[in-house]
Amino acid sequence: MRILKKDNGSITLFVLIAMLFFGMFLVGMFLINANEEAVGTAQTARIKEIYERGVDNVDEVYETNKPRKPNAGEVVRIENNIKYTADGEGNEVPVPIGFSYIGEGTKETGFVIKNDIDENEFVWIPTDLVEYQTYNWGVGSNDSTKFSEYYTQDVTKNEQIIQDVTDSVSDNNGYYISRYEAGIATKRTDRTETSQDQLPNPVFKATTSDKPIYAYNYINWYDAIYIADNLYNKEEDNVISKLINARGWDTALKFIESIGEDADASYIKNSTNKGWYSNNKDNNSELEVGKSVDITNKTIPNKLKNIYDMGGNVWEWTAGIYRTDSSSNDARRRLFWMGRFCY
């Protein structure tokens, strides 16, 4: 969550694809082998026809039998409630049933999907291109490698969640991060709810001229965990939603910093000119400099890898605790990730 004071904040969501990787691998291998055999048989028959008819242009035959590169957004196959969707550059990105590619980005530039019902948007972070881990960026006062993942005070359950998250990222070679900060239609000035089940659901979509979306603040760490856990965790959702952890946050930043022609290493060292802070102003914004929490997609120059507000606007909660030493187990020592700044 993002925070301006003690208990105000905003959420970045971590969306994991639930699947059985071993079964998918076996089925995938079978289909690939079957397709290769079918193409080979077709080529043999066509070459025999050319030989019998005395046709000269054999190269043309091989070209027509060459596998076609799927267009961006084309579903290549469906396995275990996952639509393997082409990005137009020869890559396939796993998209859960119930979500769809919106036509923005590739695997290297930020592949964007949205939920078919609530239209919340998420961006794929490919961990086969960038390693899923914490990084010491050499900036700020806190070393992000000292963050330990923390979702619940139940130690056994917490370890199981950590393992489930790790397995999902490993099996799918990636995860989805919310494209925007957690948003809400009405600007919050305090926490008025008396219980967590009264907290409104967040939205992860763009502000429009007639519908501003404000950063969801004035919620504590426990609220952030609760809201994230309850967004997409039903069996019919085909995904598991969690509050972003330190590894997920750092890996997304590493993706921005180092992958593709649009990589931006300068952003990691100093996001002042590319984020909403009290001393700068997006000319398209309706808010004045320093005027509390801004709407959720007003960074300068708007986005990196199709992700908004990774720097600036407000600080965010992460699912972790910062340990000053290896023996510390004090859950009250939760801190924000070092790279997010409030104004």
Token readout for 105 is 């980005």
Q: How far apart are CA 316 and CA 154, in angstroms?
A: 23
Q: What is the mean pLDDT of the chain?
A: 75
Cis peptide before 212, with omega less than 30 degrees from 0?
no
Domain boundaries, the chain: 13-19+101-333, 21-80
Q: How far apart are CA 256 and CA 125, in angstroms?
A: 10
Residue of higher predicted confidence among 172 and 69? 172
Question: What pLDDT, on the 0 to 100 scale, is given for residue 324?
Answer: 60
pTM value is: 0.76
Cis peptide before 301, with omega less than 30 degrees from 0?
yes
Q: How far apart are CA 192 and CA 172, in angstroms?
A: 40
Ramachandran sector of residue 97 (left: φ over 0; alpha: ψ -120 to 50; beta: rest): beta
Question: What pLDDT, on the 0 to 100 scale, is given for residue 334?
Answer: 30
Which candidate, 312, 245, 227, places its Cα nearest to that of 2? 312
Flag whether pLDDT at 101 surpasses 50. Answer: yes
* Per-residue model confidence as pLDDT tens digits over 245-254: 888 988 999 9
Residue of higher predicted confidence among 125 and 28? 125
The mean per-residue pLDDT over the stretch 12-16 comes to: 71
Flag whether pLDDT at 40 surpasses 70. Answer: no
Which candidate, 299, 343, 335, 5, places its Cα nearest to that of 141? 335
Question: What pLDDT, on the 0 to 100 scale, is given for residue 21?
Answer: 30
Q: How far apart are CA 293 and CA 183, in angstroms?
A: 11
Paired strand residues for 131: none
Rg (CA), the chain: 23
* Per-residue model confidence as pLDDT tens digits over 193-227: 999 999 999 999 888 878 888 888 888 888 988 99
